Amino acid sequence: MDIRDLWAEALAGVLARPVRSALTTLGTVLGITTLVITLGVAATAGNQIVGRFDELTATAITVEVPAGPGGPLVGWDSPAEVRRLRGVTSVSALAQTEESSNLRVTANDLVDPTRVTGQTLAVVAGDPELPRAARGRMVEGRFFDAGHVRRGDRVVVLGDQAARMLGVTRLTGAPAVFIEDRAYTVIGVLGGLGREQVLSTAVIVPPTTGVGLGLRNVTRVLVNTSLGAADLIARQAPVALSPNHHDELQVISPPTPKRARDGVQDDVNGLFPILGLVSLVVGAVGIANVTLVTVMERVSEIGLRRSLGAARRHIAAQFLLESTLIGMTGGVIGAGAGLVSVVAVSAAQRWTPVLDARLALAAPVAGALVGLLAGLYPALRAARMEPADALR
Amino acid sequence: MPDVIVLDAVSRVFPTDPPVRALRDIGLRVRRGDYVAIVGPSGSGKSTLLNTLGLLDRPTSGSYLLNGTETTVLGDGARTRLRGREIGFVYQSFHLLPHRTVAENVMLAEVYGGHPRRHRRRRALEALELVGMSHRVDFPPGRLSGGERQRVAIARALMGEPALLLCDEPTGNLDSGNTEAVLDLFDGLHAHGLTLLVITHEDEVSARAGRRVRISDGVLTEE
């Protein structure tokens, strides 16, 4: 039997009773629609939540270092220990105290009564890794390096806001700023900060230079991790920074996005997939039922086909294909209705609909599978009929 | 050329309690081009004989050669293929599919058994022309008269050029006018050399056949 003939016979069989076929697809339509809505809305809602935990915050860890009673808990060389951890992309240590947060900084020592040249700015000590760890970039000039730190040079890097407030726009001619009436050379302007925004209004000095301004001890460590490593690093970093006092350090790490998403999906996924599966089973039973009735109605047709030379497998194949077609039609309609519903729900919630394209393709296949399974028994009944009995 | 049908000592016993012997040691030889009528009252074994001849039922014992092929040793699949190839069936109730056109019903005869799809419709139209139904090609069977339906069924049986046309009470549902038309058609097909075997209980039908065989209580007698 030519496969095109089989196809044509099955199609004609389905279309011979269009209303019945349409009603038979309903169960599958409902089931597939429910499943597509469930999965689609879950994916959409899940991605809305996850959207808030963007890569920036999901990989940023801050370790706050309290002032220890017997000396510093974290030394300026401790970040190197954290940098060795797998999954860490950059680390930097900062020092900032109450006193250093409100220091008078001026761009020159002229007293100009018409202009306010002095600003109260925060002075922060940081190591040369700071631009990377704060995810900033040098707008002007350069950041200080290990050499500056070793020599204790009186150099500063200004945050971009601080530079604007002080009127430092370019670095030609090596401008200086005065912190508490002592001059420091400005060698760079740091801007575009991805985190630790407070630095944009700060004056950053090397740690060795900061000692003179009361910035002796590390008060904060910025750690950046690769995506997904934040959880692990948040546990490991305190130990690496201060093996003896790790429990005194305060770690601020991002919430785990996975848990947030799971929470949403649990709510949506609890009941609806079960409903969808139940409707699918009901749909399958419906198809099986109607196909069985159809087989009984078409006994003489089966007899005729057998007398025209149809083998049992031809009869079985035709009825299987008919029920599969009905199931697949239900799957296609259900997928369409489900997609439209997901988009409608998203529009109502002002969400961006997120749908797996594979879901749209899998739905008709699932429908066809339901139809195929539902058609097994009726097709077997049809194939088993004795042609002599069928023609009576 | 072998004879179309050779039955030798064919018996069919239904294993009921007590067993029913529907066919008893039947012998029958139908040559190519024969027009044979099998007559008998209901319950005489007519249907069992028809089913046996049509390869729809197996004899309990004996031998049945269809167009030179021993059928009693064949498996289900081989019997199905042989049936589709060698036998055209004509039924009392026509067995036309109500949702398909006349042409599609005739073309159904070539769906099974590896016939080419090319020119299938043309062959169906030729068969319909042979039975004088060219003017109803795209009608649904429901809009045809009984006689017209039977002619469509005959056209379907003629597709694939069977060795034997097996007719089961072909005029049972027809009035006398339509009966006459169908019998005239049989005469014409017989004249073209087709082998016809008609099972009937109507004398009018059997009178047109060249040969009459009577079956009674499972026993066949030539008249």
Between A and B, how many CB-CB pairs are < 8 A? 73
Do the domain assignments include residue B64? Answer: no
Number of domains in chain B: 1
A-chain residues near B156 (CB < 8 A):
308
Domain ranges of chain A: 18-52+259-391, 59-254
B75 exposure class (CB count in 10 Å sphere: 0-12, 13-18, 19+):
exposed
Strands A202-205 and A118-126, by their bridges, are: parallel
A-chain residues near B112 (CB < 8 A):
1, 305, 308-311, 314
What's the distance, CA A250 to chain centroid?
27
Range 359-388 of A in CB contact (< 8 A) with B: 386-388
C-alpha to C-alpha distance for A251 and A64, rounded to whole angstroms: 6
The closest of A38, A32, A40 to A280, measured between CA atoms, is A32
Q: Which two tokens stand for residue A339?
A: 């997609």
Residue with tokens 């090609």: B137
Question: Is-contact A388 B57, C-beta < 8 A?
Answer: yes
Do the domain assignments include residue B84? Answer: yes
pLDDT at A140 over 80: yes
Question: Is-contact A214 A206, C-beta < 8 A?
Answer: no
Min Cα–Cα distance to chain B from A31, Å? 31
pLDDT attached to residue A389: 86
The closest of A10, A17, A1, A43 to A268, measured between CA atoms, is A43
Say which CATH number the domain at B40 has.
3.40.50.300
Sign of CA dihedral A155, A160, A162, A164: positive
Q: In what order do the strands lie in the sheet with B219-222?
A: B87-90, B164-168, B195-200, B35-39, B211-216, B219-222
Domain region containing B184: 34-56+80-222
In degrees rounded to 5, what are phi and psi of residue A242?
A: -145, 85
Asked if omega into A113 is within 30° of 0 (cis), the reply is no
C-alpha to C-alpha distance for B55 and B58, rounded to whole angstroms: 7
Q: Which two tokens stand for residue A287?
A: 């198809």
pTM of the predicted protein model: 0.67
CA–CA distances in Å: residue B149 to residues B49, B123, B141, B154: 25, 18, 6, 9
Q: What is the share, in percent, of chain A residues with pLDDT greater than 90?
A: 29
C-alpha to C-alpha distance for B90 and A144, rounded to whole angstroms: 103
A-chain residues near B106 (CB < 8 A):
none
Give the single-character DSSP code of A66: P
The interface predicted TM-score of the complex, written ipTM, equals 0.93
Strands B69-70 and B61-66, by their bridges, are: antiparallel
- CB contact under 8 Å between A310 and B91, yes or no, is no
pLDDT digits (tens, 9 = 90+) for A323-382: 999 999 999 999 999 999 999 988 888 888 888 888 888 999 999 999 999 999 999 999
C-alpha to C-alpha distance for A60 and A360, rounded to whole angstroms: 37
C-alpha to C-alpha distance for A195 and B122, rounded to whole angstroms: 81
In degrees rounded to 5, what are phi and psi of residue A187?
A: -110, -10
| Cα dihedral value B42, B47, B49, B55, nearest 10 | 180
Of A5, A301, A386, the CB nearest to B111: A5
pLDDT at B64 over 60: yes
pLDDT attached to residue B29: 94
pLDDT digits (tens, 9 = 90+) for A199-247: 888 999 999 888 888 888 888 999 998 887 888 888 888 888 888 888 8
Question: Is-contact A154 A204, C-beta < 8 A?
Answer: no
Min Cα–Cα distance to chain A from B109, Å? 6
Min Cα–Cα distance to chain B from A296, Å? 15
At B104, the pLDDT band (50, 70, 90 cuts) reads very high
pLDDT digits (tens, 9 = 90+) for A162-209: 888 888 878 887 888 888 878 899 999 998 888 888 888 899 999 988
Range 71-110 of B in CB contact (< 8 A) with A: 76-77, 80-81, 83-85, 87, 89, 91, 93, 95, 97-100, 104, 108-109
pLDDT digits (tens, 9 = 90+) for A298-336: 999 999 999 999 999 999 999 999 999 999 999 999 999
